[in-house]
Chains A and B, each alone.
Chain A
Amino acid sequence: MRALKLRECCVGGTKHRVPRKEEGLTEPQTGRLRLQLTSTMESVAEVEATAERLTQEAGMDEDEAFKVVMAVREAAVNAVLHGNGYDPGKKIQASFENTGSALIITIADEGEGLDPDTLPDPLAPENILRGTGRGIFLIRSFLDEVHFRQLHPGTELTLIKHLTPDAQAST
């Protein structure tokens, strides 16, 4: 995995020291890792790799980890592609946090905004053969909570996966 670009680490909303690269995402355990990235597919790969590491360090089983990582990747793709439109002048912000009882990941773009209530249902018979429109559906399917926040400009998705007692015990 590429070295993580650690820029800021917060605990409880308070600025904390920036961890060294070799420190894990969960040190300190409730620390939050923030990334500011360009609107590229390389950034999507970095977000995906970071999510993968977060799930591994949380002790999630493979199936659950796969779903979380995929949902995070879909959110990053949405931010880079649909939100920022690959605009080199716009950034995406990602944060990763293991609270001990849940993984909380936020992905924000600087685009024109997204109203999730206007998205067509990809399971509807008239949409089932569409080539697009399944990203947000998969995110919602694979996570316990998904929250949208309008940033003016941009959209922030907060993705929450509750940790099972087994996973919590291994952290």
Chain B
Amino acid sequence: MALSIATRELDGVTILDLSGRITLGEGSVQLRDAIRELISKGMKNILIGLGEVNYIDSSGLGELVSAYTTAKNQQASLKLLNLTKKVKDLLQVTKLYTVFDVFDDEASAIASFK
């Protein structure tokens, strides 16, 4: 299943609810474009919901890292919400789990931006 991205705003935080796969050719470019658009609009607080993402390949992991650094370079914050077990395992084996701020519930994630 290709990646779908739904965007919403809550308490000054832009939440991207992702669903599907983030892989080379099936979502990496979509995610990159979505993040760049938010950054270009001056959004500073970005939360990526990954609860419906069941597959990320090395390209997708790279895209998440690039999104993180792109945001950071623009003085924005990018955090992750609701990792599935598979995605959490991937972030742990690649040591990216320590790079990102990761949350299991939305309220805590929203509060962390304040």
Contacts and interface: CB of A to CB of B under 8 A. Distances in A.
Interface residues of A, number: 21
Given A66-B86, A122-B94, A137-B94, A130 B59 contact: no
B1 to A, nearest CB: 12
Interface stretch (A73-81, A146-154, A158-166): A73-81
A134 B58 contact: yes
Contacts of A44: 24-25
A74 B62 contact: no
Interface in B69-94: 69, 86, 90, 93-94
Contact of B65 (A66, A70, A129): A129
Contacts, number: 50
The 3 closest A-B pairs by CB, nearest first: A131-B62, A134-B58, A135-B58
A56 interface: no
A22 B47 CA distance: 46
A10 to B, nearest CB: 30
24 contacts: A41-B25, A44-B25, A66-B86, A74-B57, A77-B57, A77-B59, A81-B24, A123-B95, A128-B99, A129-B65, A129-B68, A129-B99, A130-B62, A130-B65, A131-B62, A131-B65, A131-B69, A132-B58, A132-B59, A132-B62, A134-B94, A137-B58, A138-B58, A141-B93
Given A131-B62, A141-B93, 5 more contacts: A73-B57, A129-B65, A130-B62, A131-B66, A137-B58
A134 B69 contact: no
A92 to B, nearest CB: 15
Contact of B24 (A41, A123, A137): A41
Contacts of A132: 58-59, 62
Given A66-B86, A77-B24, A141-B93, A131 B63 contact: yes
Nearest to A69: B55
A129 B69 contact: yes
Interface string B29-51: 00000000000000000000000
Given A41-B25, A77-B57, A138-B58, A123 B94 contact: yes
B58 to A, nearest CB: 4
B21 to A, nearest CB: 11
A128 B62 CA distance: 10
Contacts of B55: 70
A129 B59 CA distance: 13
Contacts of A77: 24, 57-59
B61 A134 contact: yes
Contacts of A134: 58, 61-62, 94
Given A131-B62, A131-B66, A70 B94 contact: no
